[in-house]
Structure 1
């Protein structure tokens, strides 16, 4: 963050409150004896390796394409953005010499003109120099209509890009766009000299052997097993201190926990340690357990294109008869906090005035009766020949989610709603099944925002339905004219209070319309081996390997 003292003038550089960043300072409380002593210095040269366990498989090497959290876990080590967000919500420069701001002249007073000076001496992993042309190419690639970009919001506001020298470029926006600073904190630059001129930008040799400017280089990928990276000894930043990173795919979270317990894994992330193993995990010798909130929400994502789920009263009845406390208490041992919106409480635009969730299956049944959904011979409700039934999907190998699905299916069956479980491997679920809204409903842990900004155009804007537009993340196919209007206004305003009012109203509408049913704030129980230094939770990224360049063994 360039200057957190002027949030009203530059809302995208607002410091995110650290309230709840580490629940109960669990990491410190559970650290082994002597951890408070001065840490040993990192090694003078990279040595050793770290094996990171993830329950989803790496899928996409190109950092500008749609991907999952594990992909981003790898990207942070292969590639570099212009700047990033630290755990306290401050922007810090990476490829840029400084984070542009009104105060340092990098952004004009009207917010339209941006001037970026880049670090000198940065090289791609193949030895070629990194220049402003690479940044310009990466911006153009995202806006290429033939390229399957992860998202175009913000980038589509850039009117022109001018290279003024090898390490200097400018761009001009059509109109101010407050979330752009946060969006660019996850804009990983790709090499123009490797990708320019590709006949099909979605399918190039780069996808199998990517190169970046990051602290680690691509070494190998074994499908169904792992991705290995090796130290980039010419890295321009701090580190790397490890010789190798191995991102191991372990689809069953219980097996993954066992491998962490027995020492095969040095770090266990993403879905982390299942809550039912938390008590035991705390007793493990030479392990540090981190209980951390995330910027995500465990929820049911509903496909409003489904003939049953498109009806608002059905969604309301589902939410009224969703026993969130049974899920958080019985299955997750009371560790996560219940959620009522898509933003985490740590976000500066969080609406704390929303009504708490009410569990009232009797009222839900009455609502369905009044709406014409009458029980059939088998007890499942029917209306106009349509049965009140749908499927719910999540990734295979997630035992607690499967138990939550079973609990929901039993609960909803009591009021005449049939929910069938249809789980899939992560690589399948996060492919066309998700992107083309082929599901009825999903149980996922979703991060709705990009980094620290509450803009959710890509999640709830009607223009961002990937099944129609080819980009965006509005897989619920949610459409609401008022939300579209609010989201369009929210990204061009500069005043943080005005923006806060807008996103509070958006949350209230989403809470009423329920394209997603919030269950609890994302919470992970992650583990590291004692002696692994440098690990730090960051609410503003999707995976905590974001700073693995600074990890080392004591």
Structure 2
């Protein structure tokens, strides 16, 4: 296809919107939803803040498999040992200091660790926090009887020893460069709530979480909101709010309407959709900012499905996605096209990957050559496998739903049948996602642990729950070369040398395409102008990373 033809293949915004069904009233009509009566029970209105998410936090034990929205709750209720600030630097939380080689917390060879903890920290139920809680949390991640969200790194920790209530040590079985970043994303849970519990997967944390964080869990109205109250005994500055309401609003148009009307104080995941950006910037009494994040949007493929075993199929599907039209027509050009999972702000980003091409003619030729023949119904088959599959995402996310409709039509142009099958967030991102029960998904993922480039938990072959592993490899992706590079990168502590390793890995995955990358998120964040504290942080998964600092003026 000539350059002229390729350029004309992209639809103008009006044509693309018509194809995507953007004029459908059902997608665009806001519902009228007022404040819950429960809100009125708070005596001090100025000390209350309503934070909205389009998905519902449902996993309250942070060491169990979860998604980003659950971390929106975790940052309020639990604490990590330390965390990343927006500049990618560590700062201590439960730790008295961040262990380094310079302060003696890590030996020069990276094998021996000493962790010192703050004194005087208590759990929300008044029980003292000690090194025993940290030891228990770290060991729980690799307990064969526990359904852990991640084993990467933890399984290398040996001889975890409690020296005192505020100090513990351990030895690494081998050097592991991402260990500090993993600890920065490990929420510590209370050991005492597991005492006498037969099933460690079923504790009080599942329904009424207990942490050391700035807010205590008060109550939950399933499908509507979670109410948190200030922890007066918090060990850091803050909290500066009496009550934090996490409100669940699955329809993004409704969420924006509630932000406009003032029912929502801070609009979080999935934020203000770009089609509302121009108006949002004019709203009186609101702060609206476009911020980059480490999350990328993709069509994720379940690699256990026979439809996706042939790399030629995956490559043809990628050729049949008109990313330019989707980004321009639906997202108003706000996000940035990407070819990888690595954020473009990262030191490890590979900027020399092949650029995506939308080319229906080339996609058809590729499938013809690979032996996928069109049947009487126009759908291709090979060796008894039909190029037909479902695609799922969050019901109510109107931008993704419109993108699905567009992709469905361009896939049909190459003899591929994609059936849209969407679910409410709690269903979509529950076992259906975690256990790889889907065929394909439209999903946004942040696969990094803070600023570290390791993605073993998402792409290592052994990290697939569907294949018997413990991790987040829900694509069930297996590639020996990727495994080799992940192992090599994790054992190297020299940034420049690691950079070459992770750039090679991005090139391998760009060729292999276990997911079809579309864009890196640039999201439109918004809050009332009397709210202080919300700060974009590309090194964390969700807004509430510093909710301890949020306040009303």
1:462 is the counterpart of 2:461: yes
In 2, distance between residues paired with 1:61 and 1:477? 25
Name the SS for the 1:270 alignment partner: strand
The within-5 A match list for 1:27-426 is 48-426=47-425
Instruction: Return the alpha-carbon distance in structure 1 between the equivalents of residues 399 and 302 of structure 2.
Output: 23
**2:529 aligns to what?**
530
CA offsets 1:328-366 (integer angstroms, 9 cap, x no match) = 101100111101101011111111111111111111110
Measured against aligned partners, the alpha-carbon deviations of 1:4-47 in whole angstroms (never above 9, x if no partner) come to xxxxxxxxxxxxxxxxxxxxxxxxxxxxxxxxxxxxxxxxx996
SS at match of 1:499: helix
Q: Write out the 4+ residue segments of structure 1 that deviate beyond 6 Å after TM superposition.
A: none
Distance 2:549 2:477 in 1: 41
Residue by residue over 1:64-114, the C-alpha shift from the partner in whole angstroms, topping out at 9 and shown as x without a partner, is 111122210111111111101001100000111110101111100110111
Deviation at 1:209, TM superposition (A): 1.6
Q: In structure 2, how many angstroms separate the alpha carbons of the residues matched to 1:88 and 1:494?
A: 19
Give the Cα–Cα distance (whole angstroms) in 1 for the partners of residues 52 and 528 of structure 2: 12
- Aligned-partner Cα distance in 2 for 1:292–1:407: 26
* Residues 83, 92 of structure 2: 8 Å contact kept: yes
Q: Which shows bigger deviation, 470-479 or 424-433?
A: 470-479
Residue by residue over 1:275-333, the C-alpha shift from the partner in whole angstroms, topping out at 9 and shown as x without a partner, is 11111111111111121111011101011111111111000000111111011101100
2:379 & 2:59 partners in 1: Cα distance? 41
With normalisation by structure 2, the TM-score equals: 0.91
Distance 1:175 1:197, change over 3 A: farther
Describe the SS at the equivalent of 1:115.
strand
The answer on whether the counterparts of 1:303 and 1:310 sit within 8 Å (CA) in structure 2 is: no
1:59 and 1:68 in contact (8 A); partners too: no
> Deviation string for 1:487-536 (max 9, x for gaps)?
11111111112211111111001000000110000221111011101110
> SS of the counterpart of 1:143?
coil
In the TM superposition, 1:434-445 aligns within 5 A as 434-445=433-444
Paired residue secondary structure (1:300):
strand
CA contact (8 A) 1:214 1:235 kept: yes
Confirm whether residue 488 of structure 1 aligns to residue 476 of structure 2.
no
Aligned to 1:453: 452
Q: Report the equivalent of 2:478.
A: 479
The question of whether the paired residues in 1 share the 8 Å contact of 2:193 and 2:203 is answered with no
Which sections of structure 2, spanning at least 5 residues, go unmatched?
1-43
Mapped partners of 1:488, 1:197: distance in 2: 38
Which residue matches 2:432? 433
- Taking only aligned residues, the RMSD between alpha carbons, in angstroms, comes to 1.3
Write the distance in 2 (CA, Å) between the matches of 1:295 and 1:95: 25
Distance across 2 between alignment mates of 1:63 and 1:477: 22
Is the 8 Å Cα contact of residues 467 and 476 (structure 2) preserved in structure 1?
no
Shift in CA distance, 200/470, structure 1 to aligned 2, threshold 3 Å: farther
Q: 1:121, 1:376 → 2: CA distance?
A: 71
1:219 match: secondary structure: strand
Aligned residues: 510
Note the C-alpha offset of 1:386. 2.6
Bigger mean CA offset, 376-385 vs 55-64: 376-385
Question: CA separation in 2, counterparts of 1:453 and 1:326?
Answer: 32
- Give the drift of 1:470: 4.2
Instruction: Tell me which moved more, 362-371 or 197-206.
Output: 197-206
Q: Distance in 1 between matches of 2:385 and 2:148?
A: 37
The 8 Å contact of residues 215 and 232 in structure 1, kept in 2 or not, is answered as: yes
Counterparts of 1:513-524 in structure 2 under 5 Å?
A: 513-524=512-523
TM-score w.r.t. length of structure 1: 0.90
Q: CA deviation at 1:468?
A: 2.1
In structure 2, how many angstroms separate the alpha carbons of the residues matched to 1:262 and 1:82? Answer: 38
CA distance in 2, matches of 1:175, 1:383: 46
Check the 8 A contact 1:78/1:213 in 2, yes or no: yes
C-alpha separation in 2, matches of 1:196 and 1:92: 31
Deviations 1:123-176 (A, max 9, x none): 111111111111011111111111111101010110111111111111111011
Give yes or no for contact 2:389–2:439 (8 Å, CA) kept in 1. Answer: yes
In 2, Cα distance between the equivalents of 1:469 and 1:132?
Answer: 31
- 1:175-232 Cα shifts (integer Å, max 9, x gaps): 1110011111111111111223421000012322211111111100110111111001
CA contact (8 A) 1:240 1:551 kept: yes
